[in-house]
Amino acid sequence: MTMKSDESKVDKRHLRTVRTREKLLVAARQVFLENDFQTTTISQIIKRAGVGYGTAYVHFEGKDELLIVLMEDVMDRFHQVAEQPFEPGTAEEAQKQIEQQATAFLQLAEQEREMLRIVEQAIGISYVIRTKWKQIRERFIERISRDIRYAQRTGLARPDLNPALVARGWFFANEMYLFEVVREETTASIEEIAKTLTAVYTTGLYEHG
């Protein structure tokens, strides 16, 4: 328990490192949220953190990595939404569960609006962050594909459609609405959006007598 190499040795020194890192992260979050990703500079962040210029580069590779660390909490919450169970017995149950997931997804956008505003900007600018976001996306799509295959096996869903293609399309629509919610550009409520998207997705826009 009192191993020298891991705890006592690094006591004060390691503590300083951790504190500096933390100061940088707190400052970065503030500066990012007060401005945007583009216009935020390392100088602003180190000034706010009260550390020297070079220090930022000791702890992080640059603006991108700073944001990636700040994104982590939000991303965890997305993963949680992605992993919700899906085992409907009927088409109605399926529709209900899908609508719930879509709602949860968009509500997350609302709750994490501030951070996601920055993330969206960063996706456009930074390769690393774009890659990070793609991971989230692929995880969702993979999960949705699985759900579709399940529904096809149990005879609920049409077997003639490529699950991966359908899953992508469905997620894309949700993702775009997610960012509309983040930008507060939507007129309709989250519930109505989720309901409408789900209705089209599950039963289609056209009448079938």
Partner DNA sequence: CAAACAAATTGACACTGTGTCAATATTATC
Partner DNA sequence: GATAATATTGACACAGTGTCAATTTGTTTG
Binding site for its own copies (CB under 8 A): 91, 94-95, 121, 123-125, 148, 151, 155-158, 160-162, 164-166, 168-170, 172-173, 175-177, 180, 187-188, 192-193, 196-197, 199-208
Distance of closest approach, residue 49 Cβ to DNA, in angstroms: 8
Q: What is the rounded distance in angstroms from the CA atom of residue 198 to the CA atom of residue 150?
A: 18
3-state secondary structure of 188: coil
| Residue 166 · residue 189 · CB < 8 Å | no
Yes or no: say if 46 and 53 are a contact pair by the CB < 8 Å rule. yes
* C-beta separation of 11 from 24 below 8 A: no
How far is the C-alpha of 168 from the C-alpha of 78, rounded, in Å? 17
Binding mask 104-143 for DNA (x = CB under 7 A): ----------------------------------------
Segment interacting with DNA, rule: CB under 7 A, options 56-64, 97-105, 124-132, 146-154: 56-64
Write out the residues near DNA by the rule CB under 7 A.
Answer: 4, 8-14, 16-17, 19-20, 39, 41-43, 51-55, 57-59, 62-63
